[in-house]
Structure 1
Amino acid sequence: MAEGLVAAGFRADAADCFGDADTLAVVDRWHGCGAEDGLALSPSRLLTVLAELAREGGVRGWIAGSGFEGRADLLAQGAALLPLLGNGAAAVQRVRSPASFYGRLAALGIAHPPIRVEPPQEAGWLAKDAWSSGGWQVRRHDPRRPSAAAGGGRYFQREQAGTPMSALFVADGRRARVLGFTRQLVRALGRRPMIHRGCIGPIAVADAVAEALRAIADALTAEFDLRGVNGIDFLLDRGAVSLLELNPRPVASIGVLAAAVDGGPMGAHVAALTEGRLPSTARVPSGVVQGCEAVFARRALRLGPELAERLASLPWCHDRPAAGTAFTWGDPVCSISASGADVEAVEHALRRQRRALTDLMEQ
């Protein structure tokens, strides 16, 4: 998000758990907000940073990324300190309450896989948590084993066939403008069957599919008072759209869809929040397809200076951690990017780069 804001002509500070090299290179200041025990967000540190920025003055507001899915209370506390440029706590709470959210989808006539809040008695269901992100809490439901009690963000969604896709849109509370479509890169990581790795786009879809997603984005915007950039995850199966979930915040595809509008998605986000203005149209894809993918640690490791220097020399390696950073198995280490004429070419390039990084980290 910070890179997108700076590219749109804004100055930005960043507050997160990572402080990667790419972020540090573009922001005015970085504020560490990680908890002591790992890469999780520390609410108290975040609120302290927001309070300090408010006291200093000159900051227009703050934009929440991932990590707030089950923390509408934290969004509200932060918004009380410094203006929140994004969906407020009430909207996020509604979107992240499975029974009511999918109930509203049904009322709006938006197709989605069947969901339940109580454990099904048969296989073929995914156990999910609306209060998490990235697929980390997704498991295939085994009716022979006890499941966690229903409540909070936990629910069960029928597993369906289809290509995992995403639609990026910007909203003003009444209307939406779809900026583009991406293919989601979803693969297993250990016992986690559906980890979101990245995305490839822009992807051209049939006119009927594009029109269906535009109508869905408009309906969701009006129903949930959505503002700024949001993402719709859906399955596409032989031209049929089935909505998986709504992410009421900027999502990973803002990078690969940066050319969709003047100022990029983050520029459109700020314009929608501060001026109530939507871009007139999104650009037709140019024919160049881009992809990004997170790379995860396959063992416990500490990033030494030599490896950090090697990563810095690779133009397709991003979100690079500082030397000395420690990782456990499954932690995100960095990301990679590639471009090509089509999805297959980008997938091939990402696969080659991922293997090269894995080999480096195993040395």
Structure 2
Amino acid sequence: MPEPAAVLIAAVSGRALAASARRAGFVPLVADCFGDDDTLALARAHVRLRWGAGRGIDPEELLPALERLAAQHRPLGFVYGTGFEDRPKLLGRIAGRWRLLGNAPETIARLKHPGSFAALCRDCGVAHPHTRIDRPADMAGWLAKRAGGAGGTHVRSRIDREAGRGTTYYQRRVSGSPVSALVLGNGRAAIVLGFSAQWASPAEGRPFRYGGAVRPAMLPAELSAALTGAVERLASALPLIGLNSFDFLVEDNAFRLLEINPRPGATLDIFEPSAGSLLGLHVASCEGALPEQAPNLPGAAAACIVYADRDVGSVPVMDWPAWAADRQSAASSVRTGDPFCTVFGRAPTAAEARQLVKQRAAAILAMLDARLK
């Protein structure tokens, strides 16, 4: 019996991609920055990468790591997640060695350049907050963002220190609730797989740090149709391939598009179908195939990140529940504000699912507190 096809995966956290790869029948070969227990169990081979908010993924570390992972296999291609938004040149180097299963480096560069993205939205008739490169004399009503940033930690309402790597740009602050569309493209057309509502988990100096998401987002039919229309217009103007996320702010029946993340994102877990696999759809779309309709996803599902509420020099042995993932290994260390794990919840309604993950996050921190006493 032939060996299943292997896929190279690299991301800040590769666990969700690795899990979806397993469900699709692929062998995941993973390089990520956490190396948590789940990822190690899922991956056929794993390399842990160093990570720093001011450094990002290091090309001189990643490329040899991918060579080591691929040494005993013939990978179908390379799938990338979070961590490559400001790395189109690195993706170009990888594409010279393995097939990219996802958007081309040129697409990443276009979408993550503030000026070109604003022009794209204007040309497609999609509302987008006013954006500028030069710093406003008065920051009131403006947000500072790092081009190619992800996860919300790079978004600030004031500048009181060096912004780190990349280009800082400025965007008008607008009101609304965050809604994200998970979109699958084949380079010619795209289909919306679903909408999720998202929330922040503010921390000192990081007021927009990503907290979690729940699907479905409870949107009026008129607004859902308008968001879908915006996605379709944008997808017709650039060759989106694979899984992408479109991040909106919605208010009543109006919306503004904040950004497009042209890679599999943070909502993989809650949109994973009971039959099939999102990564399977992602790879098929790279071959040009799109499903006639989005997978049926009954009920509601939520996921949220549990951030450490203290420094832990040596993580104790935890009695991890089945609804937790990205589990810190025993004896590893975490700092206050580091991701400790992710918790999931399913319920009949979105409100119930969100409340459930809130309760489960509190239970994890209570368990950690008890283990440390």
TM-score (ref. length: structure 2): 0.88
Contact 2:302 2:344 survives alignment (8 Å)? yes
SS in structure 2 opposite 1:209?
helix
- The residue correspondences of 1:1-363 to structure 2 (distance < 5 A) are 1-34=17-50, 41-122=57-138, 123-141=140-158, 152-259=166-273, 263-273=276-286, 275-286=287-298, 288-304=299-315, 307-310=316-319, 312=320, 314-362=321-369, 363=372
- How far apart are the structure 2 equivalents of 1:148 and 1:59? 37
Q: CA deviation at 1:328?
A: 1.7
Higher mean C-alpha deviation, range 43-52 or range 322-331: 43-52
Contact 2:76 2:99 survives alignment (8 Å)? yes
Higher mean C-alpha deviation, range 124-133 or range 242-251: 124-133
Contact 2:142 2:170 survives alignment (8 Å)? yes
SS in structure 1 opposite 2:271?
coil
Distance change (3 Å), C-alpha of 1:96 and 1:54: same
Q: CA deviation at 1:152?
A: 4.5
Amino acid at match of 1:264: S
Distance change (3 Å), C-alpha of 1:10 and 1:358: same
SS in structure 2 opposite 1:100?
helix
- How far apart are the structure 1 equivalents of 2:108 and 2:192? 20
Higher mean C-alpha deviation, range 109-118 or range 49-58: 49-58
Higher mean C-alpha deviation, range 51-60 or range 5-14: 51-60
Contact 1:5 1:11 survives alignment (8 Å)? yes
Identity within the alignment, %: 33
Superimposed CA distance per residue, residues 217-253 of structure 1 (whole angstroms, 9 cap, x where no aligned partner): 2222232311000000001110212101100000111
- How far apart are the structure 2 equivalents of 1:344 and 1:267? 29
- How far apart are the structure 2 equivalents of 1:121 and 1:58? 54
The equivalent of 2:11 in structure 1 is none
Distance change (3 Å), C-alpha of 1:39 and 1:70: closer
Amino acid at match of 2:294: A
- Unmatched 5+ stretches in structure 1: none
TM-score (ref. length: structure 1): 0.90
- How far apart are the structure 2 equivalents of 1:203 and 1:36? 33
- Unmatched 5+ stretches in structure 2: 1-16
SS in structure 2 opposite 1:193?
coil
Contact 1:16 1:41 survives alignment (8 Å)? no
- How far apart are the structure 1 equivalents of 2:115 and 2:356? 40
Q: CA deviation at 1:338?
A: 1.0
Amino acid at match of 2:226: A
SS in structure 2 opposite 1:140?
coil
Distance change (3 Å), C-alpha of 1:38 and 1:154: closer
SS in structure 2 opposite 1:78?
helix
Q: CA deviation at 1:176?
A: 0.3
Q: CA deviation at 1:57?
A: 4.2
Superimposed CA distance per residue, residues 15-71 of structure 1 (whole angstroms, 9 cap, x where no aligned partner): 111111222222212122225999953322220132345554421011111111111
Q: CA deviation at 1:336?
A: 0.8
Amino acid at match of 2:317: A
Superimposed CA distance per residue, residues 80-115 of structure 1 (whole angstroms, 9 cap, x where no aligned partner): 121111112111011110011112211211011221
Q: CA deviation at 1:360?
A: 3.0
Contact 2:273 2:296 survives alignment (8 Å)? no
- How far apart are the structure 2 equivalents of 1:242 and 1:36? 31
Contact 1:185 1:198 survives alignment (8 Å)? yes
- How far apart are the structure 1 equivalents of 2:230 and 2:64? 38
- How far apart are the structure 2 equivalents of 1:333 and 1:192? 17
Counting matched residue pairs gives 353
